[in-house]
Amino acid sequence: MANTEKSSLRKGFERARDVHPVGITGKESPSDIIERMFPAYVGRQERTAFELMRRSSQADVCTFLTMSGAMTPAGLHQSCIIPLIERGLIDCLTTTGANLYHDAHRVIGHRIREIDPNAGDITYRLAKIIRIYDLGFREEVLLETDKLFSALLLSPDYQRKMTTTELHWLLGRDIARIEDALGIKSPSLIATAYRYGVPIFVGAVQDGSIFLNIVKLKRLYGSDFKLEIDVNDDVFEMGAMQHHCFGTLGKKMAIWILGGGVPKNYTLQGEPLLDQILGVPTHGFDFDVQFCVDPVDNGALSSCPAGEGHTWGKVSAESVQYGSMYVHCDVTAVFPWLTYALLSDARVHRKPRRLYDVREAAVENLQREITKRRKKLLETVKFDLPKAPGKKAAPQKKKAKKTATAAKR
């Protein structure tokens, strides 16, 4: 038995890929470099991630991209995310309010510059220069951007309750108009998402300067300012989008995770919302590609690999076995290179799916699924709550029986 097992293992080993890269000549294509020159360690993680991204793109999979960290100040949206959207490779985006806020700086003519992170923060503060590690911009950039969003948010179209996708669709529409009026050639992320029908979710919407301006406007205008974010509908809508992709369209789903954080879980939790909470069958994401610097042994969500996510029902078993990779790296060091390799292949191109255009139909469809399961779901709200020990109620005195004479009176 031992010899048979040993022989089987040896055969598997002999079929494994040989580590023997050839010398780089400078004539290779981007995909050739990644496929042939990255045989080990984080390099191999990068190669596997690229292969999965390419496979999911060529297979017409619905792709959900999450992005945390200060990626728009770093320009990652301009170099990578916008080109991927324009090629139809991103169907839904989840990010932070901060990324969308900083996205607007360049629209109104402000610049973000490379600075020395060790020059002294007290000096930067005196000069009124805001620092994000090795990036910097003047304090008035924030003040001007606040004015922009305040003016937009006061418009009549915003005076109602809405989800984050609706808020960002309106902002994208209005910023797209500004870009057109100013003749801006390098579009913003939010305007590009609007133009291509890509819904933008922000899980912790209250954690960012766009919402801080909403707080200001509410205090200034009171009941006349009616904008509210419906977080209940927002979470439901994420589940509806995923149900639409695999339930209505019959597509597999991929998640590309840039940096972890709230955007990662806010997107992944759509699956347990459907299966665990609402009783609507699902199977999790089919492809799971992550780029994050966090170690996997600290218990944090940002570092949670696909296998751990599978135990929660967020990722399919097939994804864990054949369709997932955790790349331990800084997103900005790797993702531009992978985007270049991916887009250098002319075959990697899809018609935009425009999920935002079907959001209402997707929500209605999921609601019908819940209505079908209403009787069973009502059983999930019952629980015998333990009663705290307390004093016994004092016995009540018995009322004296009325006499016949008293009754007549």
How sure is the predictor about 406, in pLDDT bands with cuts at 50, 70 and 90? very low
Check residue 333 and give its pLDDT.
Answer: 94
Q: Residue-wise over 338-352: b if at least 16 C-beta within 10 A, else e?
A: bbbbbbeeeebeeeb
- Mean pLDDT of all residues in 237-265: 94
Instruction: Report the pLDDT value the prediction gives residue 28, as an integer from 0 to 100.
Output: 87
Q: What is the mean pLDDT of the chain?
A: 90
Q: Is the pLDDT at 243 greater than 90, yes or no?
A: yes
In this structure, the chain runs to a length of 409
pLDDT, greater one: 19 or 244: 244
Condensed to tens digits (0 to 9), the pLDDT of residues 276-334 reads 999 999 988 999 999 988 777 777 667 676 677 777 667 767 776 667 888 889 999 99
The predicted pLDDT at position 306 comes to 66
* Cβ within 8 Å of residue 15, ≥6 positions away: none
pLDDT in tens, 52-75: 999 999 988 999 999 999 999 999
Residue 141 has pLDDT above 80, yes or no: yes
- Give the mean pLDDT of 397-404: 53
SS3 324: strand
The predicted pLDDT at position 348 comes to: 87
Checking if the pLDDT of 230 tops 90, the result is yes
**pLDDT tens-place string over residues 93-124:** 999 999 999 999 999 999 999 999 999 999 99
CA distance 142 to 129: 10
Please say if the pLDDT value at position 400 is more than 70: no
Fold of 28-377: Deoxyhypusine Synthase (3.40.910)
Domain boundaries of the chain, sorted by first residue: 28-377
Numbers of helices and strands, H then E, in the chain: 20, 11
pLDDT band at 409 (very low <50, low <70, confident <90, very high): very low
Total-model pTM: 0.89
Sequence-distant (≥ 6) Cβ neighbours of residue 325 within 8 angstroms: 45, 48, 49, 52, 288, 289, 290
Q: Residue 51 — very low, low, confident or very high, per pLDDT cuts 50/70/90?
A: very high
